Structure 1
């Protein structure tokens, strides 16, 4: 018993050391990337940083239409959207200002918020992999999620996308904990915190709120057993709702007050765009695909817009792997093709095993000891029907993959044609989970040599690290050197 406990403690220590090393490595790469980009190198950082600067200077939250932060072209600001990430960036800038007011130092301190969100997301991903995958698989899953260039870049400049990715990883981690431990008070509170962060991040991550409702209701009721626990569902459901109301509700109440009942601020933002945007950007003068009677989603997907290298699907697919700058800097075939092949083949393998992965029904056969009429113990065979927890989990992950892409497509069709991979990025963890699972199922089927199997997983992991370092050394840092002063 003592030897067994000692061995388990040694294993736990080893996993902790590996986790710390992995998190430090990811943190170091994110920080290097963050320190090697001039101001406004990435999409709309200039517009976003005005909000951070406003909070830093005035010590209060801005109205979305304040002239100090409003964009001259579009007539609006990002302050109509949730700005939790910018609030924390302003706090970091204020702390930094006690030591220096150098503009570059203040910018890096503002970017540090997303670097930390990325590291926190990496922690959640590590714990997800630890619970769901074997040794080599979890390493590959971790680095595929954390070092995909299109995702990593979002953790290195001022935006709300980093918080959206972190909150989605956090939510999925809570699903995993609930599968293993049930809906304890701690897990319920943590899910409430994760959903609050999601609500205060970016709208493209809101699909995880819907998926969480589905997962929570079915799992808290006992996965469809004969005697569902409605008391637990209502008790924990109210607790989660209360946490979200306290931590995130204030933002929407504020919107309701200052924007005359517009709790999402979408209508008010549209009104400001009509009133202040330049003619070529004004919604009154800009036509979208939905404005054309003969146009539809298919015709939009076929359309090759001027200024874009590829059509909608091509730009999004390349953007998911990574397009830097303002959707202009492509990373090269040596980066794209290996990632495309890796992701596509992994997903094909999942489709091959789809019935096993997404099968929802469960019929569990179990032995239960009962006392009969003669007061002797006998074993009774019980057949228990219900829903497979893993099947429900995989269904929610699949929805978590689909919904951001649907929202991305809908936004381009109805509002502004912007085929960007970052709008689909909340699908990152589910996508890489299925990719890893695909390779795992096939490897278990065809590769019997365990060492060879582990070697393959480690080689892919090393490849992702090499690509991340290569992009810093050959792209980000040289571009930074061309703009050595950083802010001009």
Structure 2
């Protein structure tokens, strides 16, 4: 039975996340925002030139890496152009234009709270469980950091949440046509955002297939809905990949052409064939990730801690005890979540094998893609590369904590566990946000990087 979350909590929480993100967008300098300089060049080019760039436009091609982000999907940058155009009517300040571009991530972070509440209303039994789930997602320090500057990550998390919501709603309401349209649109938005989130496109196929099989729909109903989902997604995203195929000799994803550009234009140490990647060094998978060659970096530890919160260019870490508390919460919640989910499925309760398996797959795929990228292209263990796993992970953790909270230890009732965890989580976030993220990433001398300012004044 669907429950309704208190509207003051739903909208008040969204406003709080929005305020935290917008203050972060105002405070964080571009020099402490990974990848923002390269990503910002795309919307700035569109704003100044009035057309979409080719992938190898000299104005946006990075002098070090030899390629631009115009080859790969950049929907958040396209949306950023709208905010920049609006702000440019009233100001010529380069700082305000950057701030306006960041609003895409700010709104993505805020809307993610609302989407989590919508998911929770259909998935959990109590309001405290819904609030716990939304808190686990939106008050993860790294998520707020990513929602404070221009990137694809926070938008991808928001879209992934909407896809999961439509899975649940579609299965509960027998896949109404409007939900199929919305799922197709969401898949299209995902396709235009971030390759690391493409697991949700694949899992949408799996989830829908197993769902309609369980409901025993006839083939006409099944394929009609497939057609609606496909056409909706194609209308949203198809143009970008067709354009890539036309401009880049059939390279639909743009990855091959971007590699070739890097080989031609990058500085010698950064050319793809010259980089000290595990593949180029002749290391096998086990030696790369479990051997001694990269031992000082420790791929799994760095990816995990920066998924929780490491700010700037992997420069500003939290205290070790903070990561330990997160590990206890996440570890206990994930393990118990899987156990309770399996038990409830076997007892013929509302828990779904289909949803659990696809959530686990959506956690595994970004991790696998990040491992592959580190092995083949650039050994950079960073939590933002697996941020697409955030909502699926927190759904399972919330399910586990909710199951634990129904137990009693003697006369002591564990129902207060959820409220206690929300309090602990918010305290940890407050420490990370106010004492580490904001003061560390603030640069009173330069909001934009000097290099970005040189590009603007020299090329435009």
TM-score by length of 1: 0.86
Distance 2:375 2:438 in 1: 36
Q: Which moved more, 1:474-483 or 1:31-40?
A: 474-483
Select the structure of larger CA radius of gyration. 1
Distance 1:192 1:447 in 2: 47
Distance change >3 Å, CA 147–CA 401, structure 1 → 2: same
Distance change >3 Å, CA 288–CA 177, structure 1 → 2: same
The question of 1:137 aligning with 2:98 is answered no
Distance 1:83 1:163 in 2: 11
The question of 1:423 aligning with 2:411 is answered no
Distance change >3 Å, CA 331–CA 241, structure 1 → 2: same
Residue of structure 1 equivalent to 2:318? 331
**Deviation per CA, 1:296-317, whole angstroms, max 9, x where unpaired?**
22211124667x9640111111
**Deviation per CA, 1:275-318, whole angstroms, max 9, x where unpaired?**
0011100112224323455x322211124667x96401111111
Residue of structure 1 equivalent to 2:166? 174
Shift, 1:454, TM fit: 4.5
Shift, 1:40, TM fit: 3.1
Shift, 1:389, TM fit: 6.8
Residue of structure 1 equivalent to 2:373? 411
Shift, 1:28, TM fit: 1.2
Residue of structure 2 equivalent to 1:273? 262
Q: Does the 8 Å contact 2:408/2:414 carry over to 1?
A: no
Residue of structure 1 equivalent to 2:190? 198
Shift, 1:449, TM fit: 7.7
Residue of structure 1 equivalent to 2:435? 474
Residue of structure 2 equivalent to 1:60? 51
The question of 1:104 aligning with 2:92 is answered no
Q: 1:158-307 alignment to 2 at 5 Å?
A: 158-223=150-215, 225=216, 228-293=217-282, 295-303=283-291
Residue of structure 2 equivalent to 1:444? 406
Q: 1:45-124 alignment to 2 at 5 Å?
A: 45-124=36-115
Shift, 1:466, TM fit: 3.0
Distance 1:414 1:136 in 2: 44
Distance change >3 Å, CA 481–CA 161, structure 1 → 2: closer
**Deviation per CA, 1:375-416, whole angstroms, max 9, x where unpaired?**
xxxxxxxxxxxxx87111111111111111111111111221
Q: 1:351-366 alignment to 2 at 5 Å?
A: 351-353=338-340, 355-356=342-343
The question of 1:455 aligning with 2:416 is answered yes
Residue of structure 2 equivalent to 1:369? none
Distance 1:135 1:93 in 2: 38
Q: Does the 8 Å contact 1:139/1:458 carry over to 2?
A: no
Shift, 1:197, TM fit: 0.9
The question of 1:465 aligning with 2:401 is answered no
Indicate the RMSD between aligned Cα atoms, in angstroms: 2.3
The question of 1:433 aligning with 2:392 is answered no
Distance change >3 Å, CA 111–CA 119, structure 1 → 2: same
Q: Does the 8 Å contact 2:337/2:398 carry over to 1?
A: no
Shift, 1:118, TM fit: 1.4
Distance change >3 Å, CA 82–CA 482, structure 1 → 2: closer
Q: Does the 8 Å contact 2:61/2:67 carry over to 1?
A: yes
Distance 2:297 2:276 in 1: 21
Number of positions where the alignment pairs a residue of Structure 1 with one of Structure 2 = 447
Q: Does the 8 Å contact 2:307/2:386 carry over to 1?
A: yes
Distance 2:195 2:156 in 1: 8
Distance 2:26 2:44 in 1: 19
